[in-house]
Each structure stands twice: as C-alpha cells, then as structure tokens.
Amino acid sequence: MVTKSAKAHRIAVISGKGGVGKTVITANMAAALSARGRRILVVDADLGLANMDILLGVDPPFTMQDVFEGRRPLEDIVLRTKKGFDLLPAGSGLPMWASLTTALTENVTSILASLDCRYDALLFDAGAGVGDVVLYFAGLADEILLVATPEPTSMMDAYATIKIIHQLDKRNEFLLVVNQADPAQSARIGRMVAKHLQGVMSEFLDAGAGEIPVKLELVGAIPQDPAIPESIRQRKLLCEIHPQAPSTQLMNELAGFLNTRMSAAPVGVS
C-alpha cells in the first residue's frame, strides 16, 4: 500500500465488469458521507470514459484533461456539487487517457497530492475491469471497495479482480458490496456471495504458512429497487427523490460503516 502524510482516506470503488452499479453507489455514498459532515471529493477515475457528471446532472466546463494539458489550473476544475461533495471530473471519448503512461501517472499523482489535505476522503470511481488505469488507482487507495452482483459472471470477474490486485499489489483485505440482490432476501444473498468468493479465495489465493490470508468483508447488500433506475433517469441521487427507499437506507448504512472506518484509520498511514 501507498504511504502518505496527507489526511485524506482514499477509497477505490471498483468492479470486475460494467453494469453492476458502481458509479451509482459511489455517488450516493459520497452524498451520505457528506451529510455526516465529511469533506468528500469524488474523483472520476474512468479517465477515458467518464460518466459521473452525467449521473449527477452536471455539466463541468473543464476536466482533468485541461489540467494535464496545461490549459487550466486545478482550482478551475474541482466542481462543487449540490449534493454536498466535490467532483473532480474526467473526460469521455478520450483514448489518449485510457492507457497508463508516465505522463498520466505524474499528472494524477500531482493533482491528488495537492488535494489530499482539503478532504477527509477521496473516492475513486474507477472504470470497470482490470485495465492498467484501474489497477493504478487501486494501488493509490487505502481501501478497495468491490461492487458485484449475484450473477455468476459478476462473481467470477470479482474473484479475478481480487486475484490480480492481490498478486500485483500484495493487498490482502477487500470490502464487498453486493448489488442488485433479490429484495426478498438481499441480506442472505449478500452473505452467500461473500461466502462463495471467500471460499474460492481461500482455496486458490492463500499460500503457505506464515503468509497473510486474503480476506473479504461484506459491508452491504443492496436490493433491486425501482428507485435506482428512476434516479438515474432523473439524474438525481436516491436521497433527493426517494429518501425512504430500501436502497437509500442501505446506502446510508454503507456510509456509516465507512465513516466509522475512516475515523479509526491512523492519520497519514495507508
């Protein structure tokens, strides 16, 4: 893990495949943490195919690419949203930023270093899959929050993601959110998915004596909820249009878990 002296807690929200609700969860989690008094910056870490701004219903005049290419200072890029948190937007349809380069890592590292001290947490809304940009942001994070669904393909991709990050970054702890679970038994399904993934990890990832086992902690199971696609269509957060929806309550519980975890984390250590 990265060692840093700044105070912001960095959380990378990732998924093995697209369409599992990662960006929706990141945005609603950021709003719920902000409502608890936390200073939150969401970093759209899908640098070539960014869409957090679309979900939030905002139209950023500038993006990180303007900083990278020297057209704008960082102060012009950070966008204050009406949701209580800040957004560092990226661009879309920009293939030159979809691959990891030395220039890209130097630019991102510099930007994050200058922002760390302003926030309690940075949430990286990473792209889907395990491309080099995703792995780069995962390596910068204090914690990995993996989003998966109960679908077999999603669980397989979730395991593959954990395996690759563990092998490359020597990371042994992951957090899991199970999304799109059957609303009649979402908690049970969440436990089932977590148990299955932990079993596969224990069989294939844990090595010899003396090595730290890879652990997966289930932190929430979000049910299928018609409030979620409605919020996406309206480009609003769940707390704005359906504050009492089951998914909204679980997002708040997830934020509470992370808030407690942030408070317990040693300052300046990642």
CATH number for position 202:
3.40.50.300
Pairing of strands 86-88, 79-80: antiparallel
Instruction: Please say if the pLDDT value at position 166 is more than 70.
Output: yes
Which pair of tokens denotes residue 130? 């395990």
Q: HSE-up of 230 (CA within 13 Å, CB side)? A: 13
What pLDDT is attached to residue 231?
96
Q: Is the pLDDT of residue 1 over 60?
A: no
The 10s digit of each residue's pLDDT in 75-105 is 999 999 999 999 999 987 777 777 889 989 9
pTM: 0.93
Structural domain contains residue 78: yes
pLDDT of residue 210: 61
Question: Could you give the CA distance from residue 239 to residue 244 in angstroms, rounded to a whole number?
Answer: 8
Does residue 219 belong to any structural domain of this protein?
yes
Could you tell me if residue 268 is inside a domain? no
* Domain assignment of residue 106, yes or no: yes
Q: What is the largest CA-CA distance in the chain?
A: 54
Phi and psi (nearest 5°) for 119?
A: -130, 160
What is the arithmetic mean of pLDDT over 47-56? 90
- Checking if the pLDDT of 269 tops 60, the result is no
The boundaries of the domain holding residue 203 are: 10-261
Segment among 147-151, 194-198, 207-211, 218-222 with least mean pLDDT: 207-211
Q: Is residue 269 part of a domain?
A: no
Of the pLDDT bands very low, low, confident and very high (cuts 50, 70, 90), residue 6 is low
φ, ψ at 41 (rounded to 5°): -120, 125
The total of structural domains in the chain comes to 1
Would 5 be classed as within a structural domain? no
Look at the block and give the residue holding tokens 């990278």: 68
Q: Is residue 146 part of a domain?
A: yes
CA pair distance 265, 48, nearest whole angstrom: 32
Written as one letter, the residue type at 235 is R
SS3 sequence of 229-244: HHHHHHCCCHHHHCCC
Q: Does a structural domain hold residue 270?
A: no
**What is the structure's pLDDT at 209?**
55
